[in-house]
Chain A
Amino acid sequence: MSESPPILALASVSKAFGAVRALQDVSLELRGGEIHALAGENGAGKSTLVKILAGVHRPDEGGVLLDGRPHEFHGPGDAQHAGVAVIYQEPTLFPDLSVAENIFMGRQPRARFGRIDRRALRAETAKLFERLGVALDPDRPARGLSIADQQLVEIAKAISRDARVLIMDEPTAALSGNEVARLFAVARTLQEQGCALLFISHRLEEIFDLCQRVTTLRDGRYISTEELDGLTPDDLVQRMVGRELDTLYPKQETTPGETVLKVSRLTREGVFTDVSFEVRAGEIVALAGLVGAGRSEVARAIFGVDRYDAGGVEVAAAKLPAGSPTAAMSAGIALVPEDRRQQGLVMDGSIERNIGLTQLRSLRRGPIISRKVERDRAADWAIRLQLKYARLSDTVGVLSGGNQQKVVLAKWLSTDPSVLIVDEPTRGIDVGTKAEVHRLLSELAGQGLAVLMISSDLPEVLGMADRVLVMHEGRLAAEIPRAEATEETVMAAATGRTRQEAA
């Protein structure tokens, strides 16, 4: 079973966009009954490769082999027809249609007079879910489904089309631990049924947990394909970045100073309850917990983009008025939000304008914005954060995810904050940039900044935090000092297995 011939393969594929060579001479073989990992930093060419497999792009050189024979995909429809399905990080379902209707969109089973046979529709869907081993109601509307459930619907849709190759492009980025486990169970089921799976993730643990072989890309070039057995995470990182990473979590030891941020009994009905904690100067405090535990909501309430019903926030012993980001900013709070593309950046805006957006006041000379100050400041931050860009007047949309995050950081650090709240600071960012962001956070804390870091990435939490606050179902479930923080203690609190009340 393990040595079955590849269902889908790429042979020496190259692809360029303008002057950018996205892929050069890359080969890949996807075998039935195998989960294959695709590893590489952002910009390594993974997305381009996926799009070629999905029939979105056609290779400039080299070709696609289907069941060992050269085959040309003339569009996404062709690839789908050939049994290739792609599950994206954030699926797009029709929110007002039922789960079953979404799965059979355009191919609904028909009854007499061309009416849709609802009973058959439901039965077919239930059969699919059974085959995947998931419990979802075919009749419920897609609106309100978690991202994890939406992905399962997409997978069911793919299976209903007899997909033999399933490509999962960073499916776990927005999932909680349990949801990841469930997704993996489904993936293994499909593997046993003989499907070929391609799995992309920035989380190395997941690759080692789920996959059998891994193909690594770097700067659009093929580096290697090898069995994961006998490979260490360090080996893999080294292939991805092409050099030894000094360390992924360069945490500096600091002595915390005065309390800068004090949150007391903060409550927002139905979202979070009675949350109290302090962050001191020079300290990195992690806010851990499962997705949906209310972490981001607490951050948003502190920063004033959301209201809260009770409790209060103090910065440097001064009470902060509720519900005003402007007031939070002048008190010295900065928030690097979770959703970079919607909340962090104006995607159509230029790099310099995005960086300048938080300090329109200080860019003024008289009533007029000084273009020179705006540009100099942006250039200065670009150098300090080692931003990779062509022109400061380019839109941030053309940057890679990691570089976009650097622009968000620059935008907020240039406000000279005393409290920095970062929400999932390294989600969807390649390993190299991730280490840079960690070093930056560590340095900033060393200079006396109070950092509150929300993260679903456990190694990041354990590696960076001086203290770990764990939220569970809207409440603070535990406060764990660095010395005692382990995957076990944090996860136990996050899943509600212990209940040592904080504060």
Chain B
Amino acid sequence: MAPEAPAAEARPVQARAEAPRPLTRFIRWDVIVTALLIVVFAGGALGTSDFATSDNLAFALDDLSEIALIALPMTLLVVAAEVDLSVASVLGLCSALFGALWDAGWAIETIVPLLLVVGAVAGLVNGLLVTRLGLPSLAVTIGTLTLYRGLAYVVLGTKAVAQFPQNYADMATKTVPGTPIPYPFALFILLAIVTAIVLHATGLGRALFAIGAQEEAAFFAGIRVKRIKLLLFVVSGIVASFAGAVYTLRYGSARADNGLGLELAVIASVLLGGVDFDGGKGTLGGVVAGVLLIGLLRNLLMLRDVATEIQSIVTGLLLIVSVLTPRIAAKVRETRRHHRANPSASS
């Protein structure tokens, strides 16, 4: 019963004649965010003299490293209609562990792999609670957010460990020769390409969209929903732990409160990038644009000496706008279609 001789794009005769694809299909949120990104960049370059320098851009991108890295697995999770709020706490826990072990004389070559294992375990705990006990990930990871942060304080208390070797600090801050791109951000670009392929061109990606849009139908189609979700949480933990190492080396300081509240910036970038919080919709390109937009905006506001309170207000508003706009746009489209259908009834 395998399909014989696949008909090359043959349309059945009875296909309804319809208008060609409207241009509005390009008015997608991820495209809008990208446009907005270009506008902000151009505006910044014209209006703020220190902005478009390679030093400042390198700084802005480096400052964005952890958010950008963590946003990648977060995108996969949100597309699958799950979320991991514990990422910043995993980052903090790993930073604290980094400091404690370095203080105890361990080698960095041993510490970093161990951190990745800790991150994987932290993610596994999240994943098992969600998939085995069927708890909502929002609740589970709010719990582990507190738990992991608490563990970070157990590990390091309130002290700070500094004095990390210069060659490693360089890896976290120096740029790839000839570009304004810091090494961590270069790694992000690489991983973003991999994630984009996974999400948009592999069976796993197809499965993620199906799970996010209609989990039961995905399960009935033979997709191993639980296994996939578990995997996502583990990956999220690993990336967050790696981000913890980057953060520690970048600031040259290991503290239990490192990255406090970072999860909100990550989720803001993902939603700003057009990923539907209800799952099933989104593009990785949009998320990359969202991450960059938040990063550049923060940098611009900082350069112009805008108070941090205002900075967070701007980020918050942008997030709300990004969640609202696609919905309003859908409403408007609906109404317009309705009006075109019966102009007489457009009272």
The interface of chain A, by Cβ under 8 A from chain B, is 15-19, 58, 60, 305, 325-326, 328-329, 335, 337, 342-349, 353, 356-358, 360-361, 363-364, 367-369, 373, 375-377, 379-384, 386-391, 411, 413-414, 416, 444, 447, 449
Flag if A375 contacts B9 (CB, 8 Å): yes
**B342 lies within 8 A of A379 (CB):** no
Is B219 at the interface (CB under 8 A from chain A)?
Answer: yes
Q: Which residues of the partner chain A approach B214 to less than 8 Å between Cβ atoms?
A: 342, 345-349
CB of A376 within 8 A of CB of B7, answer yes
What sequence of 0s and 1s flags, for each residue 86-113 of chain B, a beta carbon within 8 Å of any chain A beta carbon?
Answer: 0000000000000000000000000000
Q: Is the CB of A381 within 8 A of B3?
A: yes
Residue contacts A-B, CB under 8 angstroms, 12 given: A58-B345, A326-B222, A326-B223, A344-B217, A356-B206, A357-B221, A360-B206, A367-B202, A380-B6, A388-B16, A413-B1, A414-B3
Q: Which residue of B lies closest to A388 (CB)?
A: B14
Chain A min CB distance to B345 (Å): 6
Q: How far is the CA of A93 from the CA of B222 in the complex (A)?
A: 33
* 8 A Cβ contacts from B151-168 to A: none
Shortest Cβ distance from residue A21 to the other chain B in the assembled complex, whole angstroms: 10
> Smallest CB-CB separation from A384: which chain B residue?
B3
Determine whether B31 belongs to the interface, using a CB cutoff of 8 Å to chain A: no
Given A18-B337, A342-B217, A348-B281, A386:B12 Cβ within 8 A: yes
> In the bound complex, how far is the Cα of B218 from the Cα of A60, in angstroms?
40
Q: Which residue on chain A has the smallest CB distance to residue B3? A: A380
Q: Which of B194-226 contact A (CB under 8 A)?
A: 197, 201-203, 205-207, 209-210, 213-214, 216-224
In the complex the two chains form, is B222's CB within 8 Å of A358's CB? yes
Indicate if the CB atoms of A360 and B207 lie closer than 8 Å: yes
| Residues of chain A contacted by B14 (CB below 8 angstroms) | 386, 388
B280 at the A interface (CB under 8 A): yes
Identify which of A343, A345, A369, A376 contacts B206 (C-beta below 8 A): A369
Contact A19 B9 (CB under 8 A): no
Pick from A15, A305, A358, A376 the residue with the most CB of B within 10 Å. A376
CA distance A380 to B2 in the complex (A): 10
Q: Is the CB of B203 within 8 A of A361?
A: yes
Contact in complex: A376, B9 (CB < 8 Å): yes
Which residues of chain A are within 8 angstroms of B3 by Cβ–Cβ distance? Answer: 376-377, 380-381, 384, 414
CB proximity of A298 to chain B, nearest CB, Å? 16
Chain B residues within 8 Å of A15, by CB: 342
B317 contacts chain A at the CB level, 8 A cutoff: no
- Shortest C-beta distance, A416 to chain B (Å), equals 5
Q: Which of A349, A356, A388, A449 has the most CB of B within 10 A?
A: A349
Is A343 touching B8 in the complex (CB atoms < 8 A)? no
Within 8 A of A (CB), among B213-254: 213-214, 216-224
B305 interface residue per 8 A CB criterion: no
* Neighbouring A residues of B4 by C-beta, 8 Å: 380
Cα distance A305–B215 in the bound complex, in angstroms: 13
Most buried by A among B7, B222, B224: B222
How far apart sit A294 and B214, CA to CA, in the bound complex (Å)?
Answer: 25
Complex interface: chain A residues within 8 A of B219 (CB): 305, 325
Q: B205: which A residues are within 8 A, CB to CB?
A: 369
Q: Which of B201, B207, B210, B216 meets A368, CB within 8 Å?
A: B201
Enumerate chain A residues within 8 angstroms of B310, measured Cβ to Cβ. none
- Flag if B210 contacts A357 (CB, 8 Å): yes
Contact between B222 and A380 (Cβ–Cβ < 8 Å)?
Answer: no
The distance in angstroms between the C-alpha atoms of A27 and B214, with both chains bound, is 40
A388 touches B15 (CB 8 A): yes
Given contacts A343-B217, A344-B217, 9 further A-B contacts (CB under 8 A): A60-B341, A335-B220, A337-B220, A342-B214, A353-B209, A377-B3, A379-B6, A380-B7, A390-B16
Contact B342 A16 (CB under 8 A): yes
Band of interface residues on B: 35 or more
Separation of A380 and B10 alpha carbons in the complex (Å): 8
A348 to B108, CA, bound (A): 48
Interface pair A344/B201, CB less than 8 Å apart: no
* CB of B51, distance to nearest CB on chain A (Å): 39
Of residues 1 through 57 on chain B, the ones whose CB sits less than 8 Å from some CB of chain A are: 1-4, 6-12, 14-16, 18-19
> Which residues in A have their C-beta under 8 angstroms from that of B221?
325, 357-358, 411
Residue of A nearest to B337 (CB): A18
Cα–Cα, bound, A481→B224 (Å): 38
Q: What's the Cα separation between A15 and B342 when bound, in Å?
A: 8
CA distance A486 to B3 in the complex (A): 38
Residue of B nearest to A410 (CB): B3
In the bound assembly, the distance between CA atoms of A470 and B281 in angstroms comes to 43
Determine if B344 is an interface residue (Cβ-Cβ < 8 Å): yes
Query: Within the complex, which residue of B2, B7, B19, B201 is in contact with A19, where a contact is CB–CB below 8 Å?
Result: B19
Residues of B within 8 A of A390 (CB): 15-16, 18
> Considering the chains assembled together, what is the distance between the CA atoms of A16 and B1 in angstroms?
41
Rounded to whole angstroms, the CA-CA distance of A375 and B8 in the bound complex is: 9
A326–B4 alpha-carbon span in the complex (Å): 25
Interface presence of B340 (CB below 8 A) = yes
Question: Closest residue of chain A to B15, judged by CB?
Answer: A390
Tell whether, in the assembled complex, residue B224 and residue A369 are in contact, meaning their CB atoms are under 8 Å apart. no
A375→B221 CA distance, assembly (Å)? 18
**10 closest cross-chain pairs (CB), A and B:** A360-B203, A376-B6, A380-B3, A329-B222, A346-B214, A357-B221, A325-B222, A343-B220, A60-B342, A348-B213
A residues in contact with B16, CB < 8 Å: 388-390
Complex: how many Å from CA A390 to CA B20? 11
For residue B161, give the distance in angstroms from its CB to the closest CB of chain A.
41
Q: Would A382 and B218 be within 8 Å (CB), given that A353-B206, A376-B7 are in contact?
A: no
A364, B203: Cβ atoms under 8 Å? yes
Q: Is the CB of A344 within 8 A of B12?
A: no
CB atoms of B210 and A376 under 8 A apart: no
Are the CB atoms of B340 and A18 closer together than 8 Å?
yes
Set B12, B18, B340: member contacting A382, Cβ < 8 A:
B12
CA distance in complex: A88, B3 (Å): 40
Q: Are A368 and B222 within 8 A (Cβ)?
A: no
A448 to chain B, nearest CB (A): 9
Chain A residues closer than 8 Å to B7, beta-carbon distance: 376, 379-380, 383
Q: Which residues of B contact A326 (CB under 8 A)?
A: 222-224
- B345, A343: Cβ atoms closer than 8 Å: no
Contact check, B217 vs A345: say whether CB atoms are below 8 A apart. Answer: yes
Question: Inside 8 A of B216's CB, which chain A residues have their CB?
Answer: 342-343
**Is the beta-carbon distance between B209 and A349 smaller than 8 angstroms?**
yes
CA gap between A58 and B346 in the complex, in Å? 11
Residues of B within 8 A of A368 (CB): 197, 201-202
Chain A residues, CB < 8 A from B342: 15-16, 60
In the bound complex, residues from chain A placing their C-beta under 8 Å from that of B201 are 368-369
